[in-house]
Amino acid sequence: MAAPLEILTAPLPAETDPGDIDAYMAGGGYGAVRKALKSMSQTELIEEINASGIKGRGGAGFSTGMKWNLCADRFPRYLCANADESEPGSFKDRHLLEAKPHQIIEGMIITSYALGINLGYIYIRGEFFQIIDQMEAALEDARKHGFLGADILGTGYDLELYVHPGAGAYICGEETGLIESLEGNRPYPRLKPPFFPAAIGLWGQPTIVNNVETMAQIATIVDMGAEAYKQIGSEDDTTGPRLFGLCGHVKKPGIYEYDSDVTLRELIYDAAGGIRDDNRLKGVIPGGISAPILTPEEIDTPMGFGALGKLGSMGGTGGIIVMDETTSMVDALLNASSFAAHESCGQCTPCREGVPWMNDILRRIRNGQGRDEDLDLLLDICKQIHGHTVCVFGQAPGVWPVRTILVKYWPEFRACIERKELVVPPLEESYLRPDQYEHIPPVPGNFRLKTEEADAAG
Amino acid sequence: MATPLEFTEAARERAAKILDRYPAEYRKSAVVPLLHLAQEEWGHVSPEAMACVARLIGCSPVKVAEIATFYPMFNREPVGEHVLAVCHTLPCALTGCGSVFDHLSEKLGIGLGETTADGRFTLRKSECLAACDRGPVLLVNRRLHTHVSPEKVDEILTELEKG
């Protein structure tokens, strides 16, 4: 059994206000900033982050060191910390923003210093009213204590950081959507490649967009050193502590900190206390709504980005949505699809039109009016959207949940269509075992043939 | 033609501080924070409020309208004194947000997106509010309520009635 960690979730002394900078400093806070600015050169810092092997915690699991290395050799450069946490099932950023605002600021200062940045923003989603107030106060305190402003800690280095609020749009979490939003435009994502924000970002300048958890982790890396950091987890997959958020039908929902070698089964049954009412597991989404679903047979996987990728899913944001045997997968998918239909920004036709179209089809299946051809039609629309949009929104929350929930729970969807009502079949009859399908992504025709053969044989 | 709106002196000071956060040549970046300020002042963002923000930024009102019409948080029509938004995304759906919404709807006698006749309450649904371990969650104005049940809804409404 993997052991829980207390690195990012290290508790503050009792009765401490998380925004209180004096209490934070009494516990060693801002030590990482002092260490970085006073005793490390920019090159050493970048090498340290590279050596740590850290993968960004925003969802894609892209190497933070590589992102930094791609930063074009032009100035000014800007930093954007991404706190637009909106992926359904993800709440680790909220947790950190509420509990450790100063650690995030530390990471932002270190990152800025390492990359020669003098102006940065933390983009916080608009609905986080209390968090925005707390972060603005925390930045002000950091300024008063000489960690922001001109000539920080007497090093001659200048930095200003500000909060920039969002206003309720999921697409602003996409890094180029975030930049457009910060520029005061509609947050339509930019086409990339060829130019990534590290080359052409905010106001046309090189810009690093990092998730706020990544920022907090940067402070941790400087604190403990890359050598110690990469001992946590596994170097050939994902290093460092992870925050896993368990929600849905578990007995003890919440944030749990482990390394990436922990298995999904351990997180559900040990950390989160198992399934409510001791029901059986039906499916689990392992990293925010976009992460392809896993069936009960697939949960003995470690939680590294690489390990989940091999299963055809992804580490995503570490937000784990657990569903028990009473759950209607048709309802669950309809819900996920409604979210995507609402949040599509509307820039690209396949996503703007295709995602709500899939939502309409799912709604009619749910309401007992599904047609025989609907499941194939859904897979076909998935194929038409996938890869045909400017950003990954079209496929991430748009296509992936539909494609994988539909394929893995095919018998349940078929039952709803055949019986013309919403049915939740017994668990055994609701989903396909991993050896019963070959194609994810499915080829519509092939997939139908395979299940029909299975039906005929069974 | 509606009378042009102007920010109060206090709001103008806050607006100046907001504009200071961005390089002088990129004042347009302040459009979203300034729209939030306008909504705090007037409860919703009317075309006159958009024009007011445009004057501060030094751009045409249509540029502001382009932004105000994109984001769901900006009310383009007047709303009730208290805006109640029930999260209805998957994790909250799994933990019973449906009964919370139905109960609110019944108690207030209004449906989705409607405002009570006395102008006190507006009922909405929200997408994921990133507090999935504490669902179902309900955003009341600026405050998030967690582990909400129909009984807790009654308590919240009583508290709001008093306030």
A9 falls within a domain: no
Predicted confidence at residue B163, as pLDDT, reads 73
**Same structural domain, B58 and B15:** yes
**Same structural domain, B88 and B51:** no
Please, where are the H alpha helices in B69-149? 90-94, 97-108
Question: Which of A429-455 are b and which e, b meaning 16 or more Cβ less than 10 Å from the residue's Cβ?
Answer: ebbbeeeebeebbbebeebbebbeeee
Residue position matching structure tokens 């009984």: B151
Q: What are phi and psi of A282, to 5 degrees?
A: -110, -40
Nearest CB among B26, B35, B129 relative to A203 is that of B26
Structure ipTM? 0.97
Q: How far is B6 from chain A (nearest CA, A)?
A: 21
Domain carrying residue B96:
82-162
The answer to whether the CB atoms of B32 and A181 lie below 8 A apart is yes
**Same structural domain, A29 and A142:** yes
A431 falls within a domain: yes
Final residue belonging to a domain, choices A324, A353, A373: A324
Residues A328, A333, A339, A342: is their CA dihedral positive or negative?
negative
User: What CATH number is associated with residue B49?
Assistant: 1.10.10.1590
Predicted confidence at residue A11, as pLDDT, reads 86
The answer to whether the CB atoms of B126 and A127 lie below 8 A apart is yes
**Same structural domain, B19 and B59:** yes
What is the three-class DSSP state of B66?
helix
Domain carrying residue A319:
242-324
- For the cut 90, the answer to whether the pLDDT of residue A443 exceeds it is no
Q: How far is A57 from chain B (nearest CA, A)?
A: 16
A187-242 pLDDT, tens digit each: 999 999 899 999 999 999 999 999 999 999 999 999 999 999 999 999 889 999 99
The answer to whether the CB atoms of A253 and B133 lie below 8 A apart is yes
Q: How far is A245 from A258, CA to CA, in rounded Å?
A: 11
A167-194 pLDDT, tens digit each: 999 999 999 999 999 999 999 999 998 9
- For the cut 70, the answer to whether the pLDDT of residue A299 exceeds it is yes
Q: How many CB atoms lie within 10 A of CB A104?
A: 26
Residue position matching structure tokens 């059994």: A1
A419-430 pLDDT, tens digit each: 999 999 999 999
Final residue belonging to a domain, choices A324, A344, A365: A324
**Same structural domain, A173 and A225:** yes
Predicted confidence at residue A439, as pLDDT, reads 60
Q: Nearest-CA neighbor of A125 among A84, A171, A71?
A: A84
Residues counted in chain A: 458
Contacts of B32 in chain A (CB under 8 A): 126, 164-167, 181, 184
What is the three-class DSSP state of A323?
strand
* Residue type present at position B150: P
State the pLDDT confidence band at A458, using cuts at 50, 70 and 90. Answer: very low
Q: How far is B141 from B136, CA to CA, in rounded Å?
A: 16
B125-141 pLDDT, tens digit each: 999 999 999 999 999 99
Total number of domains constituting chain A: 3
State the pLDDT confidence band at A1, using cuts at 50, 70 and 90. Answer: low
Predicted confidence at residue A450, as pLDDT, reads 55
**Same structural domain, B87 and B156:** yes
**Dihedral angle, C-alpha A258, A264, A265, A271, nearest 10 °:** 30
A289 falls within a domain: yes
- For the cut 90, the answer to whether the pLDDT of residue A454 exceeds it is no
- For the cut 70, the answer to whether the pLDDT of residue A447 exceeds it is no
* H/E stretch holding A178: helix A175-182
CA A103 to chain centre: 19
- For the cut 50, the answer to whether the pLDDT of residue A298 exceeds it is yes
The answer to whether the CB atoms of A126 and B73 lie below 8 A apart is yes
User: What CATH number is associated with residue B142?
Assistant: 3.40.30.10
Alpha-carbon distance values, A453 to A321, A414, A438 (Å): 32, 15, 13
Q: How far is A441 from chain B (nearest CA, A)?
A: 23
Q: How far is A233 from A242, CA to CA, in rounded Å?
A: 9
Q: How many CB atoms lie within 10 A of CB A6?
A: 10
A312-360 pLDDT, tens digit each: 899 999 999 999 999 999 999 999 999 999 999 999 999 999 999 999 9
Final residue belonging to a domain, choices A302, A324, A346: A324
**Same structural domain, B87 and B62:** no
A123-151 pLDDT, tens digit each: 999 999 999 999 999 999 999 999 999 99
The answer to whether the CB atoms of B133 and A254 lie below 8 A apart is yes
* DSSP at A159: B
B76-106 pLDDT, tens digit each: 999 999 999 999 999 999 999 999 999 999 9
The answer to whether the CB atoms of A168 and B144 lie below 8 A apart is no
Predicted confidence at residue A221, as pLDDT, reads 98
**Same structural domain, A252 and A146:** no
Tell me how many degrees the CA angle A266-A269-A275 measures, rounded to the nearest 5. Answer: 150
Predicted confidence at residue A301, as pLDDT, reads 97
**Same structural domain, B49 and B107:** no
**Same structural domain, B86 and B41:** no
The answer to whether the CB atoms of B70 and A248 lie below 8 A apart is no
State the pLDDT confidence band at A275, using cuts at 50, 70 and 90. Answer: very high
User: What CATH number is associated with residue A159?
Assistant: 3.40.50.11540
Q: How far is A152 from chain B (nearest CA, A)?
A: 19
Assigned token pair, A449? 């043939």
User: What CATH number is associated with residue A402?
Assistant: 1.20.1440.230
Predicted confidence at residue A13, as pLDDT, reads 78
Predicted confidence at residue A445, as pLDDT, reads 47
Work out whether strand B138-140 and strand A78-83 pair parallel, antiparallel, or are unpaired. unpaired
- For the cut 90, the answer to whether the pLDDT of residue A397 exceeds it is yes
Predicted confidence at residue A15, as pLDDT, reads 79
Contacts of A401 in chain B (CB under 8 A): none
Average confidence score pLDDT of chain A: 94
Predicted confidence at residue A457, as pLDDT, reads 46
The answer to whether the CB atoms of B35 and A167 lie below 8 A apart is yes
Predicted confidence at residue A16, as pLDDT, reads 85
Segments in chain B below pLDDT 50: none
% of chain A exceeding 70 in pLDDT: 95
B contact set with A (CB within 8 A)? 21, 23, 26, 28-33, 35-36, 57, 63, 66-67, 70-74, 88-91, 93-95, 126-135, 139, 142-144
The answer to whether the CB atoms of B71 and A167 lie below 8 A apart is yes
The answer to whether the CB atoms of A167 and B89 lie below 8 A apart is no
State the pLDDT confidence band at A14, using cuts at 50, 70 and 90. Answer: confident
Question: A interface mutation test: which of B62, B67, B92, B133 has the most A CBs within 10 A?
Answer: B133
| Overall average pLDDT of the A95-103 stretch | 96
Q: How far is A307 from B135, CA to CA, in rounded Å?
A: 29
- For the cut 80, the answer to whether the pLDDT of residue A442 exceeds it is no
Nearest residue of chain A to residue B23 (CA atoms): A119
A2-12 pLDDT, tens digit each: 899 999 999 88
Assigned token pair, B56? 């501060």
The answer to whether the CB atoms of B128 and A184 lie below 8 A apart is no
- For the cut 90, the answer to whether the pLDDT of residue A436 exceeds it is no
B73 falls within a domain: no
A239-253 pLDDT, tens digit each: 999 999 999 999 999
Q: How far is B29 from B57, CA to CA, in rounded Å?
A: 9
Residues A355, A359, A360, A365: is their CA dihedral positive or negative?
positive
Total number of domains constituting chain B: 2
